[in-house]
Chain A
């Protein structure tokens, strides 16, 4: 039944696509869009019901669920693996199409956008039905499932993947309107539609990335929040392109570099497909697993190639009609263009660092990885260039000087970046910029000048984030040692007492719970660190014990038990983690506020 739902929905998409292109049948197309969402929704309810009733004759449910699994995770197991998350993405995409049709009844861009979305949906559905069907059934039903991956049994990871996918889906909607504009024309109405969708997509994708980062920090137990792992990088790439895209909307409003904005809109969408496909298809982690299931990988690559060809082809043929001007030297728009260039540079750095090893392995069948130093060394100066740009932008008087002086300032800024990079003074510099921006903000408030809150706080958040990341990088330390219960260890001016260790049974896992007491300059608190052994598959996970404070976090990971009753323990002090989360939240709030404010632009 489920598979036929997918095929029926794909058939509806063909109808929507062709009806949307004909003026006479627009209304019919709209009704079919509602019907399509209804169809997919029935499919989702059907699959969800099978999860709740433990029907392990479905291959997907067998792989990702278990009788012992708590109900909450039975529901979230729906999107725990490739098939289900892709299905969820399709449902989201068609819901967005419905929202569009309800919210803007008479827009002349709507039908073009509808047909673009139907085009994308059609291929997604074909892909789902042919290579990753969540409704596939065993001939003989197993009695019990093989359990949801324990690492995924975490509330953060229940919302992180759908959030990321929602970000990708929203960028597809933004893309559909950019394409619509390319074939009609970009007027005020279309700009406000694109701005809202671009803002929503940007917000959702950022939130998705932040949640993933938090999950890595709390669940993986390495005390890190970003590893420059390929899986993370492919989510960062559309985010970078999307950031450039949102900024390019500001200058292209005056028809400055309009075709560049269109190009970025297309690029963001293409990168999001690359991301959403790569993460789950296993291309990145191992080329061998890619070869073991060639149908999925080949299908994905051809889909990516098809979307790229169609959208970039349309872009090159239509771009003559997009009248574009160049911005004036050192004007506000000029700085925005520079911002775009730097963001594109960062994107190129991430892109090459992520995909070059894969390319090399396929061609020369030799494996290597690109170290995190590659990313941090190249991206840090680029981020400082961005910070200097938007700080400069706060001082319009400097910018209105004559050309010679202005170019001298640009050259000086470049020199500063090279110097800090050489002497490792990033922390100091980001502190200075932070202070400058805050001072300027206070002065503007005192002088009753109008302040764009979302812009100012967004930029402040970026500087604060840079500051905290550098703080974390410079001062965080950890130590591995063996300790017996009731013993004491001194580290970085703090003392640690191993108070007790107990075994606690749970519904689907047993856990070893270690209790530690930390004393740091009169501050006294307990940290509980856990080690879980899951009953199905006997997989072991660590629940890192974390005591978070504004400037630093105290982390404890319980290791192994030795014969003499002692335990190996990793104790770390991490600086600035709370500040990283707080500045990211500030950034998110600024994006959200900016998006809402633009509504009546």
Chain B
């Protein structure tokens, strides 16, 4: 009864061993206790003793070959028995253990090259990935793997161990550990993009890293440095920590030791705002006109509202609500301001979808009140409050935040005391109305009397590609007129 002898697994982390000596050749007599072959791991040398008597029917490897653990190395049996079924790489090969066949490793020459030389790119065996078939016999991969099988036994051994992350050979991984190379960023040139030894070697050469930096990266895999500022561009510990060089800060004249600043990556919302703002300014011809509205009527109405709110007769209608209401009215009269600029055309909206700028902890958001022109002032007020709260809570419907969703935007900085500013358009809208704080301005009250009246500054930024200055001015003047003539039921 032919019995295969497998390459033992000498330890959890051993994936393969090298046969240093073959003591029993094909055809030799074997007695229990005879040394069949001598093999070595990274750490030690072992002798494999025969556990059965018989004749060495076949030896599948040569001295110097690196053999994955649990692979059939040779077969002992009675004279005349066939050993073919045990040959690694054969269809339906019987194994001494539960694993897949190993493709045959050709000769000592090729195998010894594995030791010191660079592995060739290996062609992956066709057929199922081995990890899937662990535990049962699988069919042999079609044909033998091509030139450069040095890597193949490794691959096989590697996948036997489920602990090993796919994508890097154990040899490469060990080398990477030793050289402090961060493999998470490497492109593998092995089969299926597997990272192999030469990839690690190349990486170690490319980015010179100081011993300290390597140690830091090993202890904290999240660290990395885009560039090195040490000797001849070497990546230093400081580069990993602060992402910048130690040096003298021109603003202080003293060396910037990394202790007077902190690098914070941008939040998603910040990135979005940055992009939108920059693009708006780059891709439009926007400028701002400033014009004032007499705010007496508005402030009087506000007083009335406040009183009514106290008496429970009314919902709270803020100054901003009033201004938005006035703006909507003006937009109905100036449809060209209630539009999107599309490059070769202008999209004129028949309804007003008003974007309202809301300041939140996370950043600026501009939710839209759809069909705002159909709302009464109190409905408008309620809607604005609703979407503003949703923004601050973080529960706003993202659909309502798109600058495409609004036809015009109002941005009120009155609460912050801003007197004049140049709001940035939310493209593709053609305009944005900035609302300033109310200041007292001298006005001729008639009959030679000069008095101070509350004055609300309006800063209209418009896209000159869509609207000319005259039109824009007339529009913002209309907004002022609407504000000065506000009238609604309380």
Q: Decide if A and B are genuine partners.
A: no
**Chain A residues in the interface with B (C-beta under 8 A):** none
B interface residues, Cβ below 8 angstroms from A: none
